[in-house]
Copies of this chain bind each other. A is one copy, B any other.
Amino acid sequence: MNILSQNPALQGVVDQHLDATLQDETISRQEALDAINAGTMVLLGNPAHPSIRPLLVGRPSKIKVNANLGTSPFSSDPDLEMQKLAMAKQAGAHAVMDLSTGGDLDAIRRGMIEATDLPLGTVPIYSVAQKLTLQEKDPAEFTWADLRGEIVSQAEQGVDFMTLHCGVTHKGAEYASKRVLGIVSRGGSILARHMRNNDCENPLLENYDELLDVCRKYNVTISLGDGLRPGAGADAGDAAQWEEVVTLGTLVARAREAGVQTMVEGPGHVPLHLVEAEIRGIKQATLNAPLYVLGPLVTDCSPGYDHIAGAIGGALAASSGADFLCYLTPAEHLTLPSPEDVWAGVKASLVAAHAAHIAMGDGEAIRRDLEISQARAKLDWERITELAMDPCLVDARRGEHRREKECAMCGKFCAIRMLDE
């Protein structure tokens, strides 16, 4: 089957934007069209998002980085979220998600969509659950109509991709209940609670065909949520995770048949020695759909430094086939990120993505590293600064020594100067 021929909204985005999008890639238009049609690459972009600059995610396009933003019930300051949105973009994020769960969710989301040209993703079940809790009802007591209504409403607002935990089955949730750390996905746990309370199957799975119709209409890319992702290294690669992955593979196939773009979300917490096996296994079982990973974190005990644990896993994951790195910030597992955390998280993920690009033989990334090394050989600080991932930081750290030829670490003992004459 052919995704584009069934999806006029996507065809419109392709016609209007693909050429511009390809300026940031090193692939031809035909390669892009083939991969979009095959579903191994998606073009994020809802025509209703006014200033959207659509984004390619999946091979053979470059690795991309997403920044999660959004309020919580404890910390709900829309202005701060707008600041974080600006920080994420300035730091180099390729996409953002609004994961707000506190305050006026509709207004926050609309504000972000209006403010950014980056593709914006959401998790619609959060809004559904918030509405219920505001009415003092159980957050899991929604109906399919509630969910569907929210998805349609957000699609109309211009949301570009939505995490929908369609693969959380009754059986998977049962497996997860035996885990060290159960279900750590908020969406996954709300669905599991819904299934448990109502002794039913996942309504997103039961109504998947109808969901596909909605998403096709607006070219909303479904990010098939990993509601059962491992939240502890000890749970990685267990029955719950693979039960969901297997289901997600079937849902990818159905979406492609129906002309709807999908990504697959991946782990989570995965020990270092399992990262490559997990990533290759998931890509294979989900038909090489673009894989969107959260980390993976290679240890459980680094709160405060999870952007680093995530960069280790992310670099290895991306070089093993993951396509889209969701950042982790130094606030992960602890609190909502500050604007500075957002910056640090995006940069850590960009380091991981760049390392993976080099490992995969990406010409542009290799050239950049070569050029900065050549600039170092000449102690050409201007060029080093330009080529660095964070030019302002380089300049700030050089500080009072920025006019000097050697850096303040070595001064006249500079190894390069030592042999330079």
- Any chain B CB within 8 A of the CB of A51? no
Are B416 and A184 in touch, CB under 8 angstroms? Answer: yes
A298: B residues at CB distance < 8 A: 315, 355, 358-359
- Any chain B CB within 8 A of the CB of A104? no
- Any chain B CB within 8 A of the CB of A397? yes
In the bound assembly, the distance between CA atoms of A272 and B318 in angstroms comes to 11
Tell me, rounded to whole Å, the shortest Cβ–Cβ distance linking A368 to chain B: 6
Are B335 and A409 in touch, CB under 8 angstroms? Answer: yes
- Any chain B CB within 8 A of the CB of A401? yes
Tell me, rounded to whole Å, the shortest Cβ–Cβ distance linking A401 to chain B: 6
- Any chain B CB within 8 A of the CB of A140? yes
Contact of A315 among B184, B272, B347 (CB under 8 A): B272
Are A351 and B299 in touch, CB under 8 angstroms? Answer: yes
- Any chain B CB within 8 A of the CB of A93? no
- Any chain B CB within 8 A of the CB of A390? yes
Tell me, rounded to whole Å, the shortest Cβ–Cβ distance linking A147 to chain B: 16
Taken residue by residue from 9 to 25, chain A's Cβ proximity to chain B (1 for < 8 Å, 0 otherwise) reads as 00000000000000000
Are A188 and B233 in touch, CB under 8 angstroms? Answer: no
Are A304 and B189 in touch, CB under 8 angstroms? Answer: no
Are B408 and A182 in touch, CB under 8 angstroms? Answer: no
- Any chain B CB within 8 A of the CB of A96? no
Taken residue by residue from 406 to 421, chain A's Cβ proximity to chain B (1 for < 8 Å, 0 otherwise) reads as 0111111111101100
In the bound assembly, the distance between CA atoms of A300 and B271 in angstroms comes to 26
- Any chain B CB within 8 A of the CB of A2? no
In the bound assembly, the distance between CA atoms of A352 and B308 in angstroms comes to 9
Tell me, rounded to whole Å, the shortest Cβ–Cβ distance linking A267 to chain B: 14
- Any chain B CB within 8 A of the CB of A87? no
A311: B residues at CB distance < 8 A: 308, 311-312
Taken residue by residue from 350 to 362, chain A's Cβ proximity to chain B (1 for < 8 Å, 0 otherwise) reads as 0110111011100
**Of listed A196, A300, A316, A331, residue having the most chain B CB within 10 A:** A300
A411: B residues at CB distance < 8 A: 72-74, 101-102
- Any chain B CB within 8 A of the CB of A374? yes
Are B368 and A301 in touch, CB under 8 angstroms? Answer: yes
**Of listed A73, A302, A307, residue having the most chain B CB within 10 A:** A302
In the bound assembly, the distance between CA atoms of A126 and B418 in angstroms comes to 13
- Any chain B CB within 8 A of the CB of A204? no
- Any chain B CB within 8 A of the CB of A404? yes
- Any chain B CB within 8 A of the CB of A248? no
Interface residues in A311-370 (C-beta closer than 8 Å to B): 311-312, 315-316, 319, 330-336, 347-348, 351-352, 354-356, 358-360, 366, 368-370
- Any chain B CB within 8 A of the CB of A384? yes
- Given the known A-B contacts A354-B302, A373-B233, A410-B101, are A397 and B348 also in contact in the complex, defined by CB atoms under 8 Å? no
A366: B residues at CB distance < 8 A: 233-234
Are B416 and A372 in touch, CB under 8 angstroms? Answer: no
* A318 (CB) vs chain B CBs: closest residue: B272
Are B348 and A308 in touch, CB under 8 angstroms? Answer: yes
Contact of A377 among B182, B332, B355 (CB under 8 A): B182
Are B319 and A369 in touch, CB under 8 angstroms? Answer: no
Contact of A407 among B335, B348, B413 (CB under 8 A): B335
Contact of A408 among B74, B319, B330 (CB under 8 A): B74
Q: Mind listing 28 A-B residue pairs with CB under 8 Å?
A: A72-B413, A74-B404, A75-B408, A101-B413, A140-B418, A184-B416, A186-B418, A189-B415, A189-B416, A193-B419, A232-B369, A232-B373, A234-B370, A273-B360, A298-B315, A300-B370, A301-B354, A302-B354, A304-B347, A304-B394, A304-B397, A305-B351, A308-B308, A312-B351, A335-B397, A335-B398, A335-B401, A335-B408
Chain A residues engaging chain B, CB cutoff 8 angstroms: 72-75, 101-102, 126, 129, 133, 139-140, 177, 180-186, 188-190, 192-193, 196, 231-235, 269, 271-273, 298-305, 307-309, 311-312, 315-316, 319, 330-336, 347-348, 351-352, 354-356, 358-360, 366, 368-370, 372-374, 376-377, 384, 387-390, 393-394, 397-399, 401, 404, 407-416, 418-419
